[in-house]
């Protein structure tokens, strides 16, 4: 069986990665995908999409905590998860990077790379446990 939305949409991303988890429906703005691919190339390691497109129902779920006019609702935002680096401990920078998470000690690096590939400062938000990136 072929997985739903198993369509490669750029060098590093598949359509299903952006789908709303409740319905599998997906919308993605082409500029978001373009910039995300540039960011992935600059970052040099996988980028896990913790949240991409959200259906209205999924966005309204209290566990999701989406804002009423969230850009996730029309495929113009993604969230990249942040992992807490523990030194000493197993959760090192390479450990998180290999899994596609942003190490907590490298959020500033990701932010700088995002600006370099075209995002503006107002479109990149450190939300504590994830980085939210959006396009206008």
How many of the chain's residues bind Zn ion (CB under 5 A)? 3
Binding part of the chain for Zn ion, among 9-17, 53-61, 93-101, 124-132 by CB under 5 A, reads 124-132
Handedness of CA 102, 46, 120, 111 (dihedral sign): positive
The site map against Zn ion for 64-93 (x = CB under 5 A) is: -------------x-x--------------
- Return the residue of 29, 58, 111, 132 that touches Zn ion, per CB under 5 A: 132
Q: How far apart are CA 114 and CA 54, in angstroms?
A: 22
Q: How far apart are CA 136 and CA 123, in angstroms?
A: 8
CB 50, min distance to Zn ion, A: 8
Q: In 5-134, which residue ranges form alpha helices assigned H by DSSP?
A: 30-43, 56-60, 93-98, 107-116
Nearest residue (CB) to Zn ion, 9 versus 64: 64
Nearest residue (CB) to Zn ion, 76 versus 97: 76
**Counting contacts by CB under 5 A, is residue 17 touching Zn ion?**
no
**Counting contacts by CB under 5 A, is residue 106 touching Zn ion?**
no
* DSSP tag of 51: B
72-95 core/surface letters (b: 16 or more CB in 10 A; e: else): bbebbbbbbbbbebeeeeeebbee
Q: Footprint of Zn ion on this chain (CB under 5 A)?
A: 77, 79, 132
């Amino acid at each position: 069986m072929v997985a739903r939305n198993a369509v490669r949409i750029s060098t590093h991303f598949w359509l299903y990665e952006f789908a709303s988890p409740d319905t599998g429906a997906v919308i993605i703005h082409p500029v978001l995908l373009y910039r995300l691919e540039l960011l992935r190339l600059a970052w040099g390691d996988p980028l896990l999409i913790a949240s991409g497109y959200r259906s209205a129902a999924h966005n309204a779920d209290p566990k999701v905590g989406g804002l009423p006019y969230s850009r996730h609702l029309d495929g113009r935002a993604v969230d990249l998860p942040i992992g807490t680096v523990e030194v000493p401990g197993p959760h090192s920078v390479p450990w998180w990077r290999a899994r596609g998470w942003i190490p907590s000690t490298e959020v500033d690096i990701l932010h700088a790379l995002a600006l370099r590939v075209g995002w503006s400062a107002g479109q990149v938000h450190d939300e504590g446990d994830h980085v939210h990136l959006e396009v206008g």
